[in-house]
Structure 1
């Protein structure tokens, strides 16, 4: 018995035998090596390790990995797991399970063609947004790049494919009137605190969910952003999830945000009745999806059009800009990785401010 394309065979003595190319003999024929084990998976994993360890010093000695994408992606995820965040691992697993493996999973990776990848990308347009398609494509590209780097695949079929063009993101923020209505409703709602914090600090929803009382210094009147709370997929499945504390999105996301006097008073008042280490949630942490559920209720009461919670972060940045804050200050408050990212995100808002400056010349 053999698993097609893998060079793994079932022996009569009950063991599995794996064969791999070690190099070439003096007469030019291939010199094979063999490994044995009583479990198929054990032999398969050892073969992958051996092949990945081989150096690509001579193209004649290079042998492409003949396993399927199902098998390779499983190995890839195990290899990179220690180097990525649980939330990133969960995202990779979900995209593989729902969008990549149904198309390519049973196919040997060396047989995946560029034309197939482009066809797959076009099919994804029927159910995913352009940004989600790009994110899913990057997972497949990274997975196959890992095989290329280990000389198990000669060329990544994802290279130079035609991706659907992304439209520039329009920053969605509330007007001053909309913000005022939202604040009024949030103050009256039992779970409106996350909304008020977002409008005053620009923190992300996961950062607000993970905020603890120990992160707030009422003497210095600052919040120290140290963690984020996210629900991620449990290892080995795309169905079960768990709520976990993680480090913020990037090193720049670990930051200090000054508290306004009003927000300081409000948080001190809430702390007196707190029964949890977390600022949001009376007895336990309030996870992001619950915060978002309450946010939608508050928006309806405030008679606002459907907006994402992330719009509150953009609203905070817009108010900062309107009040004369520099790009560097806004970037630091938001925890962006660079000033360029801030400029790219709020280019339309900055253009409005630029126009005001130019128009002011007319009165001179």
Structure 2
């Protein structure tokens, strides 16, 4: 009687049965699981039923198998009549080990990219293209997919980690490395499934990421910056500091999404490499109130650019601002002039978050204001800025003891 077994080196299921005294073993592309065992057992039962009826045709069940010749030697009366490439079992298909050789990494990676591109935003598609062309294909491009080993994958990661990072950093960021590795993993997973080879990307964990370093400005520093910046950028930085918008959101903001009557800004688009597209996530789609000086800044800005461009903040040609240019020409020179620590413009968003939390605003409301799906990231990044009312650090207890000590002293 035949059995369903597991190949120790791959963890994949195989059929082990006998026909006219000869032993046959057929490997599948299915990993060991209860559901897959049930599928393979169903197939084995059907094979043995056909054997008992004297109707078993090997090529009908296992097309392309190396065992077909062995079967014909055992029973030469059986002709190889089936050209089917899949075995149907109770309305599901069990893929046999493909005899088709896997293609080169570059060929399949480009095919995979073409198939997946419809799922991606334009900016994400550009990032994928950059990682493929400048990293993965350069290293793995001429390798046959099924020949790639785990050792090669780890070698690739080590070489990637040895490259210098952005902004003069000695090493490329762990987040960037994880992005490259995740793309490689996705390609290999799909290829191994299609061509039925053992996926070498196993037990390789993502690198641990350092916590985001938040360096918000104080309210005094914010006021100094807004008062000292060039007049033509004063409204821009006032809105940045008090709206908490991401760089792409404020640079891509158009007048049609500014509602002065209701005092709301509708975040619907983001600017990426000069092109407006859908926001970072669905959660980023939001309506935010014009807090503090934001409404006055936008009203003043409308007088300057309202009839010049569809974009709220634009250059003299009416085109959206180039944030890299502004950062180098306006932002960093201003910080140096004021004697403030050099910080990226994104800290304006962190500043808005910390000022809102420190003032006692509800964290859930702040999360929605910033475009976060939940408060999880808010507490993770800004926990030390959340007042004692919403966090536990012992200060409330000490304050209570202080009050009691004052009462005892008064008595």
TM-score calculated relative to the size of structure 2: 0.69
Instruction: State the match for 2:27 in structure 1.
Output: none
Moved over 6 A (4+): 30-33
Distance 2:98 2:187 in 1: 19
The aligned runs of 1:168-187 (5 Å cut-off) are: 168-186=211-229
Change (3 A) 1:161 1:226: same
**1:288 partnered with 2:323:** yes
SS in 1 for 2:63: strand
1:272-313 deviation digits (Å, cap 9, x = unpaired) = 221101001142211332343332233223322221121111
Bigger Cα displacement from structure 2, 85-94 vs 265-274: 265-274
Alignment partners' CA distance in 2, 1:122 and 1:360: 52
Cα RMSD after superposing both structures: 2.9
1:261 Cα offset (Å)? 5.0
**2:252–2:276 CA contact under 8 A, matched in 1:** yes
2:162 to 109, 126, 130: 126
Which residue is equivalent to 1:203? 245
Alignment of 1:196-345 (within 5 A): 196-231=238-273, 243-260=274-291, 262-274=293-305, 275-282=308-315, 283-293=318-328, 294-345=330-381
Residue matched to 1:349: 385
Contact 2:270/2:277 (8 A) holds in 1: yes
Distance 1:59 1:318, change over 3 A: same
Sort the Cα spacing of 1:64 and 1:111 in 2 relative to 1 into closer, same or farther, 3 A.
Answer: farther
Mapping 1:32-47, distance limit 5 Å:
none
Query: How many residues were matched structurally?
Result: 311
Uncovered stretches (5+) of structure 2, i.e. residues with no partner: 1-61, 70-79, 164-171, 404-411
Separation in structure 1 between the aligned mates of residue 81 and residue 237 of structure 2, nearest angstrom? 66
Quote the Cα distance in structure 2 between the aligned partners of 1:305 and 1:249.
29
- Shift in CA distance, 193/135, structure 1 to aligned 2, threshold 3 Å: farther
Q: Quick one: structure 1 residues 273 and 362, their matched pair in 2 at CA, closer, same or farther if it must change by over 3 Å?
A: same
| Alpha-carbon spacing, 1:24–1:99, altered in 2? closer, same or farther (3 Å) | closer
User: 2: CA distance between counterparts of 1:172 and 1:31?
Assistant: 73
Q: Which residue of 1 aligns with 2:190?
A: 146
What corresponds to 1:10 in structure 2?
none
- Quote the Cα distance in structure 2 between the aligned partners of 1:139 and 1:260: 41
Deviation digits for residues 223-259 of structure 1 (CA, Å, limit 9, x no counterpart): 000100111xxxxxxxxxxx21111011110101100
Provide closer, same or farther for how the CA distance between residues 97 and 25 of structure 1 changes in structure 2, counting only shifts above 3 A: closer
Unpaired stretches in structure 1, ≥5 consecutive residues: 1-21, 34-49, 232-242
Q: 1:272 to 1:99 in 2, by over 3 A?
A: same
**Residue 59 of structure 1, CA deviation:** 5.4
- Equivalents in 2 of 1:148, 1:185: separation in Å? 59
C-alpha contact 2:360 2:386 (8 A) present in aligned 1: no
Q: CA deviation at 1:178?
A: 2.7
Contact 1:199 1:315 in 2 (8 A): yes
Q: Does 1:102 find its partner at 2:138?
A: yes
Superposed CA offset, 1:120-147 (max 9, x none): 2122222211121112111111222232
Alignment of 1:145-164 (within 5 A): 145-149=189-193, 151-164=194-207
